[in-house]
A and B are shown apart, each in its own frame.
Chain A
Amino acid sequence: KNEVEQSPQNLTAQEGEFITINCSYSVGISALHWLQQHPGGGIVSLFMLSSGKKKHGRLIATINIQEKHSSLHITASHPRDSAVYICAVRSSREYGNKLVFGAGTILRVKS
């Protein structure tokens, strides 16, 4: 069992739909990261958060520390949002200072 679980593994949406990707983890963490990997392979960091909620454009990330759960929301989805979205956690106590990654969620937005 992976220490960081993402769901769903695959997601197909119609353009304009509201999308939610979930991430659950099993240890106390100091920070959680959401990353986006483009079809071309490049990786971009979207958010780093340790509490509450962050918003950037059409992307919103939330985290519930007590429930050990985070969600990434995409509003008004667009085909250019098609990518792999990866959740990663940092726990200095459990993992030293390294990031531990989820397996990723493959998102495809159809026009």
Chain B
Amino acid sequence: DTAVSQTPKYLVTQMGNDKSIKCEQNLGHDTMYWYKQDSKKFLKIMFSYNNKELIINETVPNRFSPKSPDKAHLNLHINSLELGDSAVYFCASSLGGARVGTQYFGPGTRLLVL
């Protein structure tokens, strides 16, 4: 069974479109994350939720909106896609709070904006 899953794996879309990426974890973790990996392979945190509450919100455009319907899911919606949004987006999960632990990563979603 996949611990952290993301859909879709690949996403090719036109500039200006709106798209969503979904993430689910079955590890019983209470904290989930979205990371962006740019063309230079540099990973950077975008958002983190703990028990459905937003706890990390980095400087990302307002076009990016995370949504956590429950502890096991963290979705990322992107409005008005731009060329610079092309990247690999990774979801991850861990135990949080005082027990912040090892992060488990999803397989990544490769987004290409044309």
Contact = CB atoms under 8 A, between A and B. Distances in A.
A103 B110 CA distance: 19
B44 interface: yes
Contact of A104 (B41, B88, B101, B105): B41
B27 interface: no
Nearest to A31: B100
B108 A41 contact: yes
B43 interface: yes
B103 interface: yes
Sort chain B's interface into a size bin.
20 to 34
Given A41-B88, A42-B108, A99 B45 contact: yes
A97 B94 CA distance: 12
Given A90-B100, A97-B48, 12 more contacts: A37-B41, A41-B110, A48-B102, A97-B55, A97-B56, A98-B48, A98-B58, A99-B103, A101-B43, A103-B40, A103-B41, A104-B42
